[in-house]
Amino acid sequence: MKTSLVTFHQRGFWVRNDHLCLWLEALGQAIDQQSVPSAWLLTPRHLWHVQAVNCAMGGSAFVNLDPWVKTEQRKEDLLLLCGQAINNLLAEGEMLSADRWNVRLRDESISPKDNAYFSQELPTETFLQVGRAFLRLLQGEVFPTGPPFPVLG
């Protein structure tokens, strides 16, 4: 299974692409649920969607949070967003619907194929681990400075 790198302030972790793609879409969903999202979130929201679809199609992503999280306020915004994405995943129960997430990962502007990326229900905990790793990374916890970075899952 391919992996992708997520970094922030020279710390980071590797994560399986199928786990990352769903987490990035969960972040996008949390942005979409905001009545008035912070303007700075709109560009990374689009990029994260493209990266999620790319990962789902078998590609890789490099998710560097540094260009987007330049201030403490932005970091707080993203921490709250991660919390909302985690709550959304928890609300779906112990298993996530493959059909629902396949629909979110279809984008004809990126890939004209009508692929089903996930073939069965997905254990929620797998994706919560990615979300918790994002939280810890943003808070400066756990992850070592510089490579080699740990691999999740």
**pLDDT tens-place string over residues 12-33:** 899 988 889 899 999 999 999 9
pLDDT higher than 80, residue 106: no
Query: How far, CA to CA in Å, does 126 sit from each of 15, 67, 90, 129?
Result: 11, 27, 11, 5
> Where in the chain are the domains?
3-138
- Per-residue model confidence (pLDDT) at position 150: 73
Report the C-alpha gap between 88 and 114 in whole angstroms.
25
For 107, the enclosing helix (H) or strand (E) is none
**pLDDT tens-place string over residues 76-102:** 999 999 999 999 999 999 999 888 887
Classify the phi-psi angles of 95: left when phi > 0, otherwise alpha if psi is within -120 to 50, otherwise beta: beta
Q: Which amino acid is at 144?
A: P
User: What percentage of the chain's residues is helix, strand, coil (to nearest 5)?
Assistant: 50, 15, 35
End-to-end CA distance of the chain: 11
pTM: 0.86
- Per-residue model confidence (pLDDT) at position 147: 66
